[in-house]
Amino acid sequence: MGHFICDQSTVVETKAGKLRGFCMDGIYQFRGIRYARAKRFQMPEEPESWEGVRDALDYGFNCVGPDQPRRAPHGEVLVPHRYWPESEHCQYLNIWTDSLEGDTKKAVMVWIHGGGYADGSAIEMEAYDGFRMAKEEGVVFVSLNHRLNVFGFLDVSDFGEEYANSVNAGIADLVAALRWIQNNIRQFGGDPGNVTIVGQSGGGGKVCCLNQVPAAEGLFHRSIVMSGVIPDDNMLVRTTVPAKELVYEIMKQLDLGEDQFDRLLACPEIPLVRAVKRACIAIEKRGGKVGWGPRKNGWYLGYAPCEGVAEFSKKIPMMVGNVLAEFSVEDGIPDKSSLPVEERERIVKAYYGEEKGEKMLSLFRRAYPNVNEVYATQLDTFFRKDTLPYLRVKAKESDAPVYSYMFALEFGLDGGKMSWHCADIPFAFRNTDKVPVCGMGEVTGKLEAQTAGAFAAFAKTGNPNHEGLPAWAPCSKEHLVHMVFDRKSEAYEDHDNELIRYALEVLPERTIDFYPEEEDGTSWIY
């Protein structure tokens, strides 16, 4: 157990009032700082100020998730989770820092969680913790919650001017959080002129989105997108029914008439979430589709490859990456790492067919010469297919450098498991000790140092290169350069362009089932 301090020495004065955090092993922690308030479906406003000292010792509410009334535990060896009380009033952030001196000017990393635009929280995964990044990399680490699903992305603009941007309310929360950071982070040792936003999966999508929101200009200075390039028409966000039709369907599920919008505003959170669930299922049965996510409307300029890179974003260095297998389905093959080459080739050809398998083997070996060929059957075609064109557009239109990476480590589960969606997070934030499957001794230690070192170096300078990593050049207008993080990390130029192009021809598109059925036959939104 480390040394704990919680007294006058851990009090900081913010614009709204004084906050008391605590210090553990030299790292100050402030939890559950309210950065904004908002009425349902409306834009966030500044929080009220207070007199005296307010404790910042407890995490704030998570946003109400879409899978009420229960969550099924799963995958804890791969991705250990934490759950917490929920509320739609969830505009809270957390800070880790090794200094409370206002002139320290440390780089600030702002973590935006995943879970699509529907679920998740700042503390959902144990690997989201910012202690080690503050302790070992010397950054000020911030994580935050914001409105999700129906609370953050339901379009009720037809029901009043105050709801004009309701479809982007969850993103507006993020802007409000960045504005709070801009106004207050100096008191926590951070540099308001050096803020990096980092997001994974849906969080990465939110980072891309913020790069297209002019209201966020000047509030951040670098961006990192981890497995999160999400076009505005991606299945995660696609909605095929008119906004008012969805609202009326939700109201119908609550036994409300179309003239009772005021009662929708007053509906308690859990009944509302359950009604939304029933409404989504009813719309799907009619052949429609409901997804949560941002919508182009002037405030949000739209997906960069389709609408062009926002002018302010062209000056912001960016790092964009994937993991090799993302959402791939397990193949059930034990001890992959010990298979002879002939058996690996047989497995790939059995999966694709003789001719296609031969070509896939050739392309995969060229792209990933140090990776077991069996994983050619698990290539990601969900995120990677959009990441590559996104990189090209950013490199072509931006004045600032754009770096790319691929995380391709094979883990020891069942004799070999390729990096899955979220596998890079504990390495990026030096939290591999919190994830059982990451326990691989020197391999883990070296790769964690390389990955976290790159993330921290990028946050500090806009360049991920550091002494422990081979030279890593940014992408250019002509070529994409990718750092492949693995047991032996190396940079490659245009290494998987042809591979992904061919994979899209021969593999079915990866999808995510948001309506899995429980054993009793009941359907629940993931």
- Whole-number Å distance between alpha carbons of 8 and 520: 54
Name which of 58, 57, 61, 52 is nearest 21 in CA terms.
57
Amino acid at 28: Y
Dihedral sign, CA of 157, 159, 161, 166? negative
The residue behind tokens 């200094």 is 99
pLDDT for the residue numbered 224 = 98
Our CA dihedral for 185, 187, 190, 195, rounded to 10 degrees, sits at 20
Helices (H), 269-415: 269-285, 304-307, 341-352, 354-367, 384-397
Please, which pLDDT band fits residue 525 given cuts at 50, 70 and 90?
very low
pLDDT of residue 248: 98
What does the pLDDT read at residue 515?
42
* CATH 3.30.750.210 matches 320-506: no
- pLDDT over 70 percentage in the chain: 95
Token readout for 415 is: 């004799």
Average predicted confidence (pLDDT) for the chain: 94
d(CA 254, CA 275): 6
Confidence of residue 1 (pLDDT cuts 50, 70, 90): low
* Closest by Cα among 229, 227, 224 to 455: 224
Q: What is the mean pLDDT of residues 150-175?
A: 98
State how beta strands 318-323 and 190-200 pair.
unpaired
4-61+88-235+296-316: CATH number = 3.40.50.1820
pLDDT at 10 over 90: yes
Residue 517 has pLDDT above 80, yes or no: no
Can you read off the two tokens belonging to residue 490?
């190396």
pLDDT digits 0-9 by tens, 316-364:
999 999 999 998 877 778 888 889 999 999 999 999 999 999 999 999 9
pLDDT surpasses 80 at 526: no
Q: What are phi and psi of 285, to 5 degrees?
A: -65, -25
Q: Coil, strand, or helix at residue 134?
A: helix
Q: Is 50 exceeded by the pLDDT of residue 518?
A: no
Q: Order the strands of the 140-144 sheet from edge to edge.
A: 4-5, 22-24, 27-34, 92-97, 140-144, 106-112, 190-200, 222-226, 318-323, 402-407, 481-485, 490-493
Is the pLDDT at 200 greater than 90? The verdict is yes
> In b/e form, how buried is each residue of 169-194, taking b as 16+ CB within 10 angstroms?
bbbbbbbbbbbbbbebbbbbbbbbeb
Q: What is the mean pLDDT of residues 413-434?
A: 95
Question: Which pLDDT score, from 0 to 100, does residue 509 have?
Answer: 66
According to DSSP, the β-strands at 106-112 and 190-200 are parallel
- Could you tell me the CA-to-CA distances from 28 to 6, 19, 188, 298 in Å, in that order? 9, 12, 9, 40
| DSSP-assigned letter for residue 81 | B
Q: Which amino acid is at 203?
A: G
Q: Where in 64-133 does DSSP place strands (E)?
A: 92-97, 106-112
Q: How confident is the model at residue 68 (pLDDT cuts 50, 70, 90)?
A: low
Written in H, E and C, the secondary structure of 228-263 is CCCCCCCCCCCCCCCHHHHHHHHHHHCCCCCCCHHH
d(CA 359, CA 341): 16
- Indicate if the pLDDT at residue 513 is higher than 60: no
Of 179 and 103, which is predicted with more confidence? 179
Residue 522: predicted pLDDT: 40
Contacts of 182 (CB under 8 A, 6+ apart): 192, 195, 218, 219
The pair of three-digit structure tokens given for residue 319, joined into one six-digit string: 């790092």
Under 8 Å CB-to-CB from 373, ≥6 apart: which residues? Answer: 341, 344, 345, 348, 361, 364, 365
* Whether the predicted pLDDT of 222 surpasses 60: yes
